Structure 1
Amino acid sequence: MPSDVSPRELGFAMPPEWAAHAATWMSWPADDELWFGHLDAVRAEYAELVRTVARFESVHLLVRDQESEDDARLRLGTLGQVQLHRVPLDDVWIRDNGPIFVRNEAGEVALTDWKFNSWGEKFQWKNDDRVPEYVAETLHMPRWNMQTVLEGGAIEVNGDGVALVTRSCLLTPTRNPGMTEADYSDLLSRTLGLDKLLWLDAGLENDHTDGHIDTITRFTDAQTIVTSVEPRAADANHKVMQRNLEALREMQDGEERPFRIIELPLPAARLEGAEGRLPPTYANFYIGNGFVVVPQYGDANDEHALEVLTPLFPGREVIGLSSRAIIEGGGSFHCMTQQQPEGEKWSGVER
């Protein structure tokens, strides 16, 4: 890998999630303490997520030990689309600790390996930080070894050079002290091919990621953005989500065109977990080959969220699955998945 040459200089950029996938990477839940005693229920929901994704595309499933492997095989049965890999793991949030894949105009794929420190050293992370290296070795795929902390859930791209991010996350001093908005713009231009960053202020209350964009606001195509809203003025999320909504309505793409903004409700019920309020959201959906899987919480707004999202994904089956136990860990389906774009492995040779 030419360490002095950036991905962009070689024609690489991060494709949008709705581009064709070769596979989805996932990590099996394993630590009951991290799930506050809910591990069995979490694994039941997670197994259904794996089965659903595997209906449409291949799944690479990381398991950290023999117990995890045995449990995964017992719950999943024989699924030809699922390949298990034994890898040391701390947790399941592969969107954040896994690789971010990039693709060039020739359709060749490589990956970027960013530093992961568990959202500012909140939990154990050293095993998870090595996952991109394992993925690169498994796929025999070249990687850029970055020296900056960046989580996949902190960026949302539209495939046309634009990305959504939050200040509350990227500018947190426990990630990359001293980095400014301009620094991130330059870095993500060189590494992920992004021409324009759209900055929102913050995310949901008590989100331990410090406000990942993928919990509140998402692209559904290059010109359409869905963003979470909370109508109740007394709720702590109301003002933050309203400011985000107003900011989005003023934003433009790289051609100075406004976006189509769609409001997506947050769950109606307030959920409490072992460490205070939980951050359930429907925006943490995952887009795959022919499907979109949307978290559901047994909430009054579950069906309405599906009604909002379904027409935004023509040609894809929009599927609601339970995430009521999974949200006890602070995240949901998008946080637990990482797409590998379709394409041939890059040879690592500069063209």
Structure 2
Amino acid sequence: MTYYMPAEWALHDWVWIGFPGNEEEWPATLPDAQRQIAAFADAVHAGGKGEEVRLVAADDANAAIARALVGVGVVVQVEKHGDVWLRDTGPICVTNGSARALVDFGFNGWGGKYVMAGDEDVGARLAAQINLSLTTAPWIFEGGAVDTDGTGLFVTTEQCLLNPNRNPALDKGKIETLLAGSLGLSDMLWLGDGLLNDHTDGHVDNLARFVAPGVLALPEATDADDPNAAIYADARARAKAHGVEVASMPSPGLVLVDGEAIPASYMNFYIGNAAVVVPIYGRPNDQAALDALRPFFPGREIVGLRSDAILAGGGSFHCTSQQMPSA
């Protein structure tokens, strides 16, 4: 039986969302990051019109903070983790008709850069709560490294999946074979680099996202000082050469923190049952980004929420989430 990873716009039973609680990760912005994640959880839950939200706190103290911040109906659970990026550490659900299964991959702290106790097995512990079969894949892989349109077409970046700090013995062919067996990959679009200064070594969910079968949303630079202009242009050329339709998205442009360009992106949106939640940054292109996504998701509300405090810890809404597709 062949299982495959559904597109994110397929219906979900629930979504796990990591709740920030590590003061070392957010030394100056932890309370703001917690409020922004709570707002994200509420927007996905949509007062019960969206999917169930399971907000995952690392301990009882942070669970109490989470419960005080979220609206009625959002479930708060305690499961030890070091970082909140459950897109990368949580189990990935694959489906075949009404059948579902889980895949849990190896994790090494994004190439050994951010090793935190609890992250190495939080995926297995979350999976153990569910009555589904689990396959443990013995190689390093993070969910944010790929995106799929649900037809077997995936997109990734060479900077991440071919990085020697993940799986130095694996080349493109071997990686595609492994993903074919675990996630149902049949066609891989390889982009080049991810965003400048992205701690994940260029996760594609911060650069390019499928918004319909065969349609890839990609930013384009609108300002001369955009630090990712060449990266966007290269990704666009590769996508078109692969035969993928490109939908243009604006870029936030140059966003500086302490004088350094940070990987601010509108692409780290989450596609929920009732809403598409998009990170915004108080930039001139915020509204244009929401407008660009609206035609692809009729029936879903396009919600822009500030994500700058979350980004200070290294990611955004999509990075913190891992959905459970409906059977």
TM-score normalised per structure 1: 0.89
Aligned counterpart for 1:295 among listed residues 279, 297, 300: 279
Paired position in structure 2 for 1:255: none
Greater alpha carbon shift after TM alignment, 309-318 vs 226-235: 226-235
CA contact (8 A) 2:199 2:314 kept: yes
| C-alpha distance in structure 2 between counterparts of 1:269 and 1:175, whole Å | 29
Q: Which residue of 2 aligns with 1:154?
A: 145
RMSD: 1.4
The CA distance in 1 between the partners of 2:264 and 2:241, in whole Å, is: 27
CA distance in 2 between partners of 1:279 and 1:331 (Å): 9
Contact conserved, 2:251 with 2:265, CA < 8 A, in 1? yes
C-alpha distance after superposition, 1:28-54 (max 9, x if no partner): 100121013210111111111111111
1:225 to 213, 216, 228: 216
Distance in 2 separating the partners of 1:250 and 1:162? 15
Displacement of 1:239 in angstroms is 1.2
| TM superposition shift of 1:57 | 1.0
Determine what percentage of the aligned residue pairs are the same residue: 38
Structure 1: state its 5+ residue gaps: 1-9, 253-258, 344-351
Give the structure 1 partner of residue 115 of structure 2. 124
Provide TM-score, normalisation by structure 2. 0.95
Secondary structure in structure 2 of the residue aligned to 1:340: strand
Q: Indicate the SS of the match to 1:138.
A: coil
Cross-structure match for 1:89: 81
Aligned to 1:346: none
Larger radius of gyration: 1
Q: How many Å apart are 1:169 and its aligned residue?
A: 0.3
Query: Which of the numbers 64, 73, 77 marks the counterpart of 1:70?
Result: 64
Letter in 1 for 2:177: D
Specify the alignment match of 1:14 in structure 2: 5
Aligned residues: 324
Is residue 331 from structure 1 mapped to residue 323 from structure 2 by the alignment? no
Deviation at 1:242, TM superposition (A): 0.7
Change (3 A) 1:103 1:40: same
User: 1:348 matched to which residue of 2?
Assistant: none
Distance 1:308 1:65 in 2: 39
1:175 aligns to what?
Answer: 166
Using the alignment, how far apart are the partners of 1:341 and 1:306 within structure 2? 24
Say whether the 8 Å CA contact 1:112–1:146 is kept in structure 2: yes
SS class of match (2:24): coil
1:210–1:131 distance in 2 versus 1, CA, 3 Å: same
Deviation string 1:48-100 (CA, Å, 9 cap, x unpaired) is 111111121101121111210110111125x22x2222211101100011111
Shift in Å at residue 234 of structure 1?
4.6
Question: Mean alpha-carbon deviation: is it higher for 127-136 or for 38-47?
Answer: 127-136
Matched-pair contact (CA < 8 Å) for 1:269–1:299: no
Provide the C-alpha distance between the structure 2 equivalents of 1:222 and 1:167, rounded to a whole number of angstroms.
22
Match of 2:255, SS state, is coil
**Following TM superposition, where does structure 1 have runs of at least 4 consecutive aligned residues deviating by more than 4 angstroms?**
none
- The 8 Å contact of residues 166 and 213 in structure 1, kept in 2 or not, is answered as yes
